[in-house]
Each structure stands twice: as C-alpha cells, then as structure tokens.
Amino acid sequence: MALPALEIDKVDVGFGPEGSRTEVLKDVRLKVEANEFVAIIGFSGSGKSTLMNLLAGLQPADCGEVRMNGQVVTEPGPERGILFQNYSLLPWLSVFGNVELAVRQVFPEMTKADRRAHVQRYIDMVSLSGSEWKRPGELSGGMRQRLSLARTLSMRPEVLLLDEPLSALDALTRANLQDEIIRIWEEDKRTVVMITNDVDEAVLMADRIVALTPGPEATLGESFPVTLDRPRDRTTLNFNPQFKELRNKVTRYMVDINQEAKMLRKAVDVSLPELTPYDFTAV
Amino acid sequence: MAESKLEKFKYGLLKLIDVSGFKVFDPVVRLVFGEEPRKQAGEVLKFLVTPVVFVLLCLGLWTVIAPRHKTKSGEVPTPVEVWDAGMIANTLNERENEKETDFALSGSQREAEITLVQQLLAEKKKQSEQLKAEAEKVAAAATEETAAAIAPVQKQYDELKAANKGAKTTRSGEIKKLAEAVAAGSATAEKLLQAIRDDNLASDEARDAEKELKDHMDEIRSNPPKAVKKTQLAYDAAANEVQHLSKRLDYLQKGNRSQKVSQAEQKTLAAMSKLESATTSSAILSAAKSVVQGEEKAARTAEQSYPRTATIWFQVRRSLFTVFVGFVMAAVIAIPVGIMCGLNKVVMACLTPIISIFKPVSPVVWLLIFQIVVGAFFPDPESHPLFVFFGSLPWIGELGVNPALVFSACTVAMCAVWPALVNTALGVSSIDKDHMNVARVLKLGLWSRLFKIIIPSSLPLVFAGLRISLGVGWMVLIAAEALSSSDGLGKYVWDEYQNGSSHSFANIIFACFVVGIIGFFLDRIMIVLQRSVSFDDGAAVV
C-alpha cells in the first residue's frame, strides 16, 4: 500500500503549565491520500486552526507525529502551501511583488524572464490580471484572498492547506471563490486539506468530510465520503437528493456531537446555592 | 478629454495636499474646481477663515497688550515692530551680500559699480541731511513743547516746595517751644509726643504731594511726541544707508581684492627693480626678501574671501546643517540598535536600563559633556583633516565647520536618538505574526527576513520615531547653541539678548518665529516621508 500523502498520527496538542494543562487536540489521527480533497469541519474554538498550524509545521505536536510522504514534519516549508484565513499579504508590496517574493524564494534558479512569466501565470490563474501593480490595501476582500491563493499556488506546493480561506468573505464572493478553487484544483490535481465551518461548502468541494469534535480535547470524529460526480454544479446541486441527504447527515452529526459535548460539560457544572426570593411587598 | 485631464489634475492636487498634510486647503481646491460650491465654501469658512480670523485676533491682542509692559530693554515689541526688525535683519544680510560681491569685483565692472555707488551715496547723503534737519527741527519743537508743558507744573512744584518748607520750619519752632515748656513744667510730655507725631505725618504728606508733581513732570519728559521717534528713525535708516554705501565704496576701492593684489604686485615690482640696481650684499638680501614677501602676499590676497559677519540667514543655514548632521547620527545609531532590540528580547533587556537612565537627561548636561569630550579630539582644529575637508566643500565650507558644530550635533544626536530607537524597537517587535508566518513558510533566511519582511513592516513606526527625533533635535539644538555660543540661530538669539540695542527684543521674537516656522516645515517633511512609506492607506505614492 502506498504511503498516505499526509498523515497525522496520534497527535496531542495542549498549552499551559503542567498541572493546569488544557488539551486542545487529543489523539488526532488522519490519513490523506494523494490528490485527495479532504474537508475538516468543526465548530469555532474546536482547535481547527491549531490542527492547520500542525499540518503546516508552524506549531509542533506535543505528542505524536505529522508525516508527509512518510517523512516527519518539523518545520514549515513551501511544499505545504498554506492559505491563511486573514490573507497574510505583505501590504507594502504590490500584487506582483507579493507573488514574486514567494517565487524568488522557492525557485531561486529561475531566470528573470521565466520568473516574470511564472508570476504572471498565477496572477492570471486567479483572475487578477490588470491589478498587478495595486497594493493589497486597494483590493477587495475576495481579491486579496485570490492573491493569497496565487501566492500559495505559485510555490507549486505538493499539499495545499486551506485554513478557513473563505470565512471572512461575503456569500457571493465566497461562492465565486469556491468555484475558482475547484476549477484550479481540477486543472492541476493535488492533495488538499481544507478547514471550514460550512457544511455546504464542504459537501460541494471535498472528496471526504471529516468532523472535528468540539474542544477541549478535540479529536477527529466520523468521516463522510462525498461521492457526488464532478464537476458539481451549485445551481442544480440543491435539488440533488444525494447532496441533500449527505448534507443533512453531516449537519445532524455535527449538531449531535455538539449537544453531546454540551451535556458532558454540564456534568462538571458547579451546583448553584439554593436561594429563595424574599417578598418585600408591604405586609 | 480635456475634462478628464482637468479632473486628473484636480485629484492629483488633492492627493498632494493630503500627503503633505495640508488637508485644510482641500476645500479651497474643490471650490476652485467648482465642486459643490455651497458645501465647500462652508468648509472654507469653518476651517480656514475662522482660524485665520482667530490668529489675527491674537495678533491684535498682542499689539494692544505689548506696549503696556515696560521692561528694562524697553517696551515689549508689537507685531509690526517685530516684522520691521525682521526686515532690518534681512537688509543686513543683503548688505553683506552686496559687500561680498563688491570685494570680489575687478576690472571695468568695478569701475561701473564705483560710479553707481558714488551716485547713490551723493543722493543718500543729501536725503540724510534733509532728514537730519527735519529730525532736529521736530526734536527742537518737541523739546519746546515739553518745556511748555512742564513749566506750569514746575512752577506749581516750586511753590509747593517753598510752602512745605515754610510750614516745616514753623512746626519745628513750635515743637522746640513745646519742649521748653515741658522742661519748665507748663506742658505735659504727652503733648510734645503728639506734636512730633503730627509733624512727621505732615512731612510725609508734603513729600507725597511733591512726588506726585515730580512724577507728572517725568512722565511728560519721557513721552515725547510720536513724531520725534518717527523722524529720528527715518534719519537713522538714512544714516545707516549712507554708512553702508561708504563701506561699499571702500570695498570697491581701497579694500577691493583686485586692488589689494595689484598693490602687492606693484610693491613686488618695485622691490624687483631695487634688487636689480642693488650693489651691496645686504641691500640685495633685503630686496630679495621683500620680493618674496610681496609675492607671497599677492598670492594670499588673491585667495582671500570677504569676511562676512554672521547674519540671521547664515545662522539659519548653519543650524539646519547642524541639526541634519545630528539627526543623521541619531538615525544611524537608533535604527540598527532598535532593530536588534526589537528582534531579541535579551538585547532589549540589556539596553532598557541604559535607555531609561539616559533618556531623561537634560540636553544641557549632554552639551557640557560633549564639549569636553569633543574638544579633546581636536587639539588643533584649524589643521584637523576633518575640518579642512569640510572647509573645502562648496556650501558647507562657508558654514564654518568647527568643533562647536561637532559637539552641538553630538548633543542633538544624543537627545534625538531615544525616540527613534524606542519606536524602531516597537515597530520591529510588534510585527504582524501572520507576516512572520509567511516568512517561515517561505523559509526566508535572516537577511531576506530582515529586509523583505521586518524592515518594510516596521518602517511607518520607524519614521514616526524619526519625526519625533527631528523635532526634539531642533529644539535641543537652539538651546545648545545659545548656551555654548556655537554659531547658529541659538547664538543669534543669545547675542541679541546680550547686545541690548533698541531692536534686540524684537529681533529675539523674530528669531523665535523663524525657529518655529523652520521646525514646522521640518515636521511636515517628516510627515510626507512617513506617509510615503506607510501602507495602511492607498495614498502611499504620489
């Protein structure tokens, strides 16, 4: 059996000093096949971004390992391109400059002309042609995330990590960019791990959806394969029974685990003192 | 097409105004281009006309209040007097320029200038004579007038004094008699005491009445009619002009460089002929010596430049150069050290005590320390290579770079280094974590991380710090110059304070405005620089 492209093996992450330690992630296991599009879905505060930082190598695991093609990940690198939620663009550089910085660093052997062509190709790919010399400050939110995508893709990463890339955008821009990401992925397949809090988005885009249980001590729960045919058309998908069923299944599961977590939490609630309101009305 | 071009020009202009921080003029431009005239006119009225009116009111208040306060250097000058003093200072500068050119003129140009100046001088002399006569006439009339005004008061005073004296003698006689009566036992001691007390009281009253009249006379004397002052000032100005023109004539004729050179050359020639005709060895020797001396003198004179006296604009240039040197020194130290502090907490911890202790030290203390330290580096400043080098540069050479400039600049640097350092450290340490994550994903090395992420991202704060530094530096410099008598605006103010002529006080206030206006423009330049490196808004580049 081939090695999984990306593997999380019994990873724990926590913070705080010993004794009063809070575990954010506990015993997380995940295997992502090559060229698979996996969506990890979870509630806010459940440690989604921690998981992403772990995959990117920005944060070390306290226990367990993250492996890429069998090799342990210890530090970040351009082979795992990460798309940050808040774009992380360099505001003093132009659109072209932002992409060029990455290209120059990852492909230092490129000639100047090749590099220009390479940068331009990725700017065109995310439909930002014509805005090459604008600064990020002059771009809309959607355009900024496109630029961030162009920068990440221009490094030609083996694995693409999307950390809630669309959650800061309005609904229309979001749909637009979802299509764009899928189009680019279909043109040039690679392994993708996307974190999201939107079930529709996950069903529309991913090959497989994995649920992250609410934290603390979050871990990966059930996994739902998405067998819908590609290309998926968002306009007709709403009437597709398979889509509806899957969406309902995932949603129900998420709601259930959330209630379960709430119930678990209630068990440790401190009991309130018994107080009776005193009647102050005139006797 | 023309329409859009005009629009483009308008928006370019608006952007320029915005970047340079003169946002007040924004509605004026819009009004000129006819955009929403009602609204823009309202804006102009509120934010431009009202402040101008307020400033005018302040000037009016100044004009009213100033003459009421009398100091040992005369009345506090009014705005008009300050302006006049500034114009006089400017004229002095122009006169220096004229004399400088005159000194260097030669040949037919010199001849032409001599005729011109002579003509002018004759005219001015005549005018000056007239003005003098007029001033004397007015003064004489004023003296007469004053005498006439004083005469009745004087008479009253004399009468009062005589009366008082008579009364005093009478009282003294009575007291003496009373004392005799007490001795004889026909009166009580109590009565005598009362009489002495009454006498003292009466004397005091008499003295007060006399003093009142005397004060009145003094007042009349010290307030000659306004016309006297005016004619006297007119005559003074003309006399000054005459003096200046004769000085010019001197620099064109006897004191002229080419004249001096040719004089020296003639002497050399005479010595040469003497040398040829001399027969005894001692005569030959002395003639030869004077030939060489003459040659040397001619060469030295040809090199000579006009010995300018320091005018206000010279002092402004020198102060600007000094503050620039100090500011550059501060920036060169503060930026790298600040970056190191921001990057490394240990470095920050090491430097924190030093920064905290030295930051509040007064510039005066630094000035004294640097004066001692810098002095030791330049035992012979005249021939020190650094000063020889600076002296040979154009523009800078004429500013007279000397140890005083070096220690003033060091003092500026010492006081200006802290804001820049602290701000740079803050800028570097508060760099966005996301940007650092980008650097980590891209695996940028130390230098690319520094130059591509850290420095660009902290530049706005660095420039904010540099702006504060320049402001502090300019303030410190003026104080340092005043204290150390190192040439510059500070020394100008100090010299005026010491000199105590009728214009001194006005000159000091004029210099105060010059310092303020220059400081304002320095700040504006820094704002423009700061805004051109900041990336928060789109208006970064013009």
CB of B460 within 8 Å of any CB in chain A?
no
Is the pLDDT at A233 greater than 70? The verdict is yes
Is the pLDDT at A117 greater than 70? The verdict is yes
- Cβ–Cβ of B441/A81 closer than 8 Å? yes
- Cβ–Cβ of B443/A76 closer than 8 Å? yes
Token pair, residue B30, equals 């819009």
- Measured CA to CA, the distance from residue B527 to residue B20 in angstroms comes to 7
With contacts defined as CB-CB under 8 Å, which chain B residues touch A101? 442, 452
Q: What is the nearest CA distance from B454 to chain A, expressed in angstroms?
A: 11
Token pair, residue B265, equals 């050359």
Residues of chain A with a CB closer than 8 angstroms to some CB in chain B: 56, 58, 75-78, 80-82, 84, 86-88, 90-93, 101-102, 105-106, 135, 137-138, 155
Token pair, residue A123, equals 């700017």
Looking at the partner chain, which of A75, A88, A138 has a beta carbon nearest the beta carbon of B438? A88
CB B238 within 8 A of CB B90: no
Domain boundaries, chain A: 1-79+158-283, 86-156
CB of B451 within 8 Å of any CB in chain A?
no
Looking at the partner chain, which of B452, B459, B536 has a beta carbon nearest the beta carbon of A137? B536
Token pair, residue B69, equals 């306060």
pLDDT for res A227: 83
Residues B151-163, mean pLDDT to the nearest whole number: 91
- Cβ–Cβ of B441/A90 closer than 8 Å? no
pLDDT for res B305: 82
First to last CA, chain B: 22
Is the pLDDT at B539 greater than 50? The verdict is no
Identify the band that residue B538 occupies on the pLDDT scale cut at 50, 70 and 90: very low
- Measured CA to CA, the distance from residue B108 to residue B98 in angstroms comes to 17
Is the pLDDT at A209 greater than 70? The verdict is yes
Looking at the partner chain, which of B444, B459, B537 has a beta carbon nearest the beta carbon of A137? B537
State which residue of chain B sits closest to A105, comparing Cα positions.
B442
Per-residue model confidence as pLDDT tens digits over B108-150: 889 899 999 999 999 999 999 999 999 999 889 888 888 888 8
Mean pLDDT of chain B: 89
> What ipTM, to 2 d.p.?
0.83
Cα B217–Cα B218–Cα B223 angle in degrees, nearest 5: 105
- Cβ–Cβ of A88/B453 closer than 8 Å? no
CA dihedral over A76, A82, A88, A91, signed as positive or negative: positive
Is the pLDDT at B1 greater than 60? The verdict is no
Looking at the partner chain, which of A77, A78, A135 has a beta carbon nearest the beta carbon of B535? A135
Q: What is the nearest CA distance from B14 to chain A, expressed in angstroms?
A: 18
- Measured CA to CA, the distance from residue B194 to residue B16 in angstroms comes to 87
- The topology (CATH level 3) of B312-533 is MetI-like fold (1.10.3720)
Helices (H), strands (E): how many in chain B?
A: 20, 2
The residue assigned the tokens 């250097």 is: B73
CB of B459 within 8 Å of any CB in chain A?
yes
Type and span of the H or E element at B74? strand B74-75
pLDDT for res A111: 93
Is the pLDDT at A197 greater than 50? The verdict is yes
Token pair, residue B141, equals 């009339």
Token pair, residue B27, equals 């509605």
CA distances (Å), origin B438, targets A74, A127, B159, B459: 16, 22, 101, 18
Identify the band that residue B428 occupies on the pLDDT scale cut at 50, 70 and 90: very high
- Among A84, A101, A140, A148, pick the best mutation site for testing chain B contact (most B Cβ within 10 A): A101
- Cβ–Cβ of B538/A137 closer than 8 Å? yes
State which residue of chain B sits closest to A76, comparing Cα positions.
B441
Is the pLDDT at A280 greater than 80? The verdict is no
Whose CA is closest to A199, among A4, A41, A21? A41
Which of A208-217, B382-391, B490-499 is most confident? B490-499
State which residue of chain B sits closest to A92, comparing Cα positions.
B535
Residues B25-32, mean pLDDT to the nearest whole number: 89
pLDDT for res A2: 65
Q: What is the nearest CA distance from A65 to chain B, expressed in angstroms?
A: 19
- Among A50, A59, A105, A144, pick the best mutation site for testing chain B contact (most B Cβ within 10 A): A105
- Measured CA to CA, the distance from residue A28 to residue A44 in angstroms comes to 17
- Cβ–Cβ of B434/A84 closer than 8 Å? yes
- Measured CA to CA, the distance from residue B243 to residue B126 in angstroms comes to 13
Looking at the partner chain, which of B443, B448, B537 has a beta carbon nearest the beta carbon of A77? B443
Residues A125-129, mean pLDDT to the nearest whole number: 88
Per-residue model confidence as pLDDT tens digits over A29-76: 889 988 899 999 888 777 888 888 889 998 888 888 899 988 888 889
CB B234 within 8 A of CB B131: yes
- Measured CA to CA, the distance from residue A242 to residue A250 in angstroms comes to 12
The residue assigned the tokens 């509120």 is: B46
Residue type, position A139, single letter: L
- Measured CA to CA, the distance from residue B206 to residue B23 in angstroms comes to 68
- Cβ–Cβ of A84/B459 closer than 8 Å? no
Facing residues of A31 across strands?
Answer: A7
Q: What is the nearest CA distance from B33 to chain A, expressed in angstroms?
A: 26
Residues A248-261, mean pLDDT to the nearest whole number: 85
Residues in Cβ contact with B186 at an 8 Å cutoff, skipping those fewer than 6 apart: none
**B33: helix, strand or coil:** coil
- Cβ–Cβ of A105/B435 closer than 8 Å? no
- Measured CA to CA, the distance from residue B338 to residue B459 in angstroms comes to 12
DSSP letter for each residue of A117-164: HHHHHHHHHTT-TT-TT--GGGS-HHHHHHHHHHHHHHT--SEEEEES
DSSP letter for each residue of chain A: -PPPSEEEEEEEEEES-TTS-EEEEEEEEEEE-TT-EEEEEE-TTSSHHHHHHHHHTSS--SEEEEEETTEEP-S--TTEEEE-TT----TTS-HHHHHHHHHHHH-TT--HHHHHHHHHHHHHHTT-TT-TT--GGGS-HHHHHHHHHHHHHHT--SEEEEESTTTTS-HHHHHHHHHHHHHHHHHS--EEEEEES-HHHHHHH-SEEEEE--SSSB-EEEEEE----SSPPHHHHTT-HHHHHHHHHHHHHHHHHHHHHHHHHHHTPPPPPP------S--
Token pair, residue B247, equals 């000085």
CB of B443 within 8 Å of any CB in chain A?
yes
pLDDT for res A244: 87
Whose CA is closest to B527, among B18, B47, B10? B18
Identify the band that residue B542 occupies on the pLDDT scale cut at 50, 70 and 90: very low
- What is the CATH superfamily name and number for domain A1-79+158-283? P-loop containing nucleotide triphosphate hydrolases (3.40.50.300)
Give the A:B interface size as CB pairs under 8 Å. 58
pLDDT for res B541: 37
- Cβ–Cβ of B459/A92 closer than 8 Å? yes
Mean pLDDT of chain A: 86
- Cβ–Cβ of B535/A91 closer than 8 Å? yes
- Cβ–Cβ of B440/A91 closer than 8 Å? no
CA distances (Å), origin B459, targets A90, B414, B465, B521: 13, 22, 10, 21
With contacts defined as CB-CB under 8 Å, which chain A residues touch B537? 137
Identify the band that residue B540 occupies on the pLDDT scale cut at 50, 70 and 90: very low
Q: What is the nearest CA distance from A214 to chain B, expressed in angstroms?
A: 25
Per-residue model confidence as pLDDT tens digits over B197-237: 999 999 999 999 999 988 888 888 877 777 888 888 889 88
Q: Which of A140-149, B155-164, B186-195 has the lowest mean pLDDT?
A: B186-195
- Cβ–Cβ of A137/B443 closer than 8 Å? no
Residues B260-265, mean pLDDT to the nearest whole number: 88
**Is cis: bond before B37, omega within 30 of 0?**
no
- Cβ–Cβ of B440/A76 closer than 8 Å? yes
Q: Exposed, middle or buried by CB within 10 Å (0-12, 13-18, 19+), for B103?
A: buried
State which residue of chain A sits closest to B534, comparing Cα positions.
A92
